[in-house]
């Protein structure tokens, strides 16, 4: 069946102003879940009656004081929600937190209603969205393709029109790749701008809480609600509280030089990127070809270097007693940490510092870099044949971003020639979050109304 127009914060608030009850809106959420009929999206879905009861206790409608009043949201299941299990897609790991993550607390304080916890690549390790013991969430446009990960369930929940906003996490691209493969905006904030207290670590020094939405306004609104220094989070860092409307425009556009436009034989992705460049170039005052060689070298450090040991550090205690409960591909990836020493870790830090210095010079000549969000669009069959290769290629333009302390915004672009979604990611220096949202909105406006409806089980 065709999906209804995707809900946004603005459309739901307009409905409330017209007298629609919050119970009716929550009812439509659960009706949409039934229509989509995808058992892979949620690991834990709250009973509708509980959600309606919570919504009924909201204060009087005041979207100025409560900017997310009555907005249903979904939360990736490596982020704590009080009273709901946190599993990280590993049932043996499950526990029920007594307190929500800081990011969730801020959403709820702004009036949001959490409806459930979403599926993911186990322990947030993967960009494909299929490394889970639960049913794999179906890509919203082609169930034979990967949904993207690790924030697979969160992305599909928004893409299928169930909720207007969802939370993911992003260490290596988990808040961007699923957005690109499901026609969504994926906001990956500056590292430390949103507290990660209450977020199960993947790489604790790099982890970000990310946002999925249908437009940049909603994504930035959720980000603005959640951002801010948190003394309870050792990795929280102050960030300028600016706004897209007043942010300085990013006019000097960096584009990967031709040698760095890597699509691994996926001509449809290459064509979609070329079409997207036709839309973004007119928004710039100048374009500059960027040599991404040092950026790609940084990316290799994440999984081929000692940073994989940081994933092992997050899982070490559980692996010591429950290794058999860990997905075999996840276990293989994290197990690679055993070949690195403490000396290797310091040498990796030195190498990153050297590469960062080289990469930083790029910002002398450009304000923003526009890269493909994903260079390929693997099928489930591709992953069955090779669980590692396609995943690695998906991280081509994402793996370096957090290591270099950059901000990024994935935005939908022109569709591929085969009708599947594609997108670009706008990358800027730390603190450029609002400016990226401004440029992202302009890019989407230039594309016009080019949305296509996702597939559903009844289609």
DSSP 188: E
Q: Which of these is catalytic: 150, 151, 190, 195?
A: 150
Rounded to whole angstroms, how far apart are CA atoms 372 and 220?
21
Give, in degrees to the nearest 5, the angle at Cα 16 between 220 and 44: 65
Rounded to whole angstroms, how far apart are CA atoms 46 and 29?
12
157-169 in b/e burial notation, b at 16+ Cβ within 10 A? bbbbbbbbbbbbb
Structure tokens at 168: 């993911």
- CA distances 362 to 290, 293, 367, 436, Å, are 7, 12, 9, 17
Q: What is the CA radius of gyration of the chain?
A: 20
Q: Euclidean distance between the first and final Cα of the chain, in Å? A: 4
Told to judge if 150 belongs to the known catalytic residues of this protein, a careful annotator would answer yes
Rounded to whole angstroms, how far apart are CA atoms 293 and 86?
39
Rounded to whole angstroms, how far apart are CA atoms 125 and 312?
11
Q: Are 118 and 153 in contact (CB under 8 A)?
A: yes
Q: Which of these is catalytic: 3, 174, 195, 407?
A: 174
The candidate with the shortest Cα–Cα distance to 114, out of 71, 53, 65, is: 71
Q: Which of these is catalytic: 28, 76, 132, 166?
A: 76
Q: Are strands 286-290 and 252-256 parallel, antiparallel or unpaired?
A: parallel
Q: Are 128 and 121 in contact (CB under 8 A)?
A: yes
Told to judge if 154 belongs to the known catalytic residues of this protein, a careful annotator would answer no
Spell out where 83-214 has E strands. 113-118, 165-170, 185-188, 208-213
Rounded to whole angstroms, how far apart are CA atoms 151 and 379?
17
Q: Are 406 and 427 in contact (CB under 8 A)?
A: yes
> What residues contact 53, with CB distance under 8 A and at least 6 apart?
none
Any idea of the CA torsion for 22, 23, 24, 27, to the nearest 10 degrees? 120
Rounded to whole angstroms, how far apart are CA atoms 60 and 52?
15
Told to judge if 210 belongs to the known catalytic residues of this protein, a careful annotator would answer no
Catalytic residues: 76, 150, 174
């Amino acid at each position: 069946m065709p999906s209804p127009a995707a809900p946004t914060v603005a459309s739901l608030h307009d409905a409330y102003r017209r007298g629609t009850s919050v119970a009716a809106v929550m009812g439509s959420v659960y009706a949409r879940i039934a229509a989509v009929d995808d058992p892979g999206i949620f690991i834990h879905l709250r009973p509708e009656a509980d959600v309606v009861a919570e919504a009924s206790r909201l204060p009087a409608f005041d979207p100025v004081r409560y900017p997310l009043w009555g907005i249903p949201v979904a939360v990736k299941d490596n982020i704590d929600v009080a009273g709901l299990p946190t599993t990280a897609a590993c049932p043996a790991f499950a526990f029920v937190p007594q307190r929500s993550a800081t990011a969730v607390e801020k959403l709820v304080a702004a009036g949001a209603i959490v409806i459930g916890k979403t599926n993911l690549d186990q322990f947030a390790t993967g960009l494909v969205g299929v490394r889970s013991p639960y049913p794999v969430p179906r890509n919203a446009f082609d169930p034979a393709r990967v949904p993207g990960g690790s924030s697979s369930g969160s992305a599909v929940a928004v893409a299928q029109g169930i909720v207007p906003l969802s939370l993911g996490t992003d260490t290596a691209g988990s808040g961007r790749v699923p957005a690109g493969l499901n026609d969504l905006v994926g906001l990956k904030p500056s590292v430390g701008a949103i507290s990660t207290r209450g977020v199960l670590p993947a790489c604790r020094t790099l982890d970000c809480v990310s946002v999925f939405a249908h437009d940049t306004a909603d994504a930035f609104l959720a980000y603005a609600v959640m951002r801010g220094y948190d003394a309870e989070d050792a990795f929280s860092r102050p960030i300028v509280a600016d706004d897209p409307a007043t942010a300085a425009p990013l006019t000097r556009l960096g584009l990967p030089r031709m040698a760095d436009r890597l699509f691994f034989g996926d001509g449809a992705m290459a064509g979609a990127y070329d079409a997207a460049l036709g839309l973004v170039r007119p928004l710039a005052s100048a374009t500059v070809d960027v040599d991404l060689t040092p950026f790609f070298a940084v990316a290799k450090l994440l999984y081929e270097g000692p940073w994989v040991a940081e994933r092992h550090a997050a899982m070490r205690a559980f692996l010591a007693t429950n290794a058999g409960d860990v997905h075999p591909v996840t276990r293989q990836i994290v197990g690679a940490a055993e070949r690195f020493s403490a000396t290797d870790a310091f040498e990796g830090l030195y190498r990153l510092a050297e590469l960062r210095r080289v990469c930083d010079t790029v910002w002398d000549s450009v304000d923003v870099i526009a890269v493909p969000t994903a260079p390929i669009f693997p099928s489930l069959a591709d992953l069955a044949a090779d669980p590692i290769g396609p995943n690695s290629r998906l991280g081509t333009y994402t793996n370096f971003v957090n290591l270099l302390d950059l901000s990024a915004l994935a935005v939908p672009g022109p569709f591929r020639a085969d009708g599947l979604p594609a997108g670009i990611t706008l990358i800027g220096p730390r603190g450029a979050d609002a400016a990226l949202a401004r440029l992202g909105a302009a890019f989407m406006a230039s594309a016009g109304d080019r949305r296509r409806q996702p597939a559903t089980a009844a289609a």
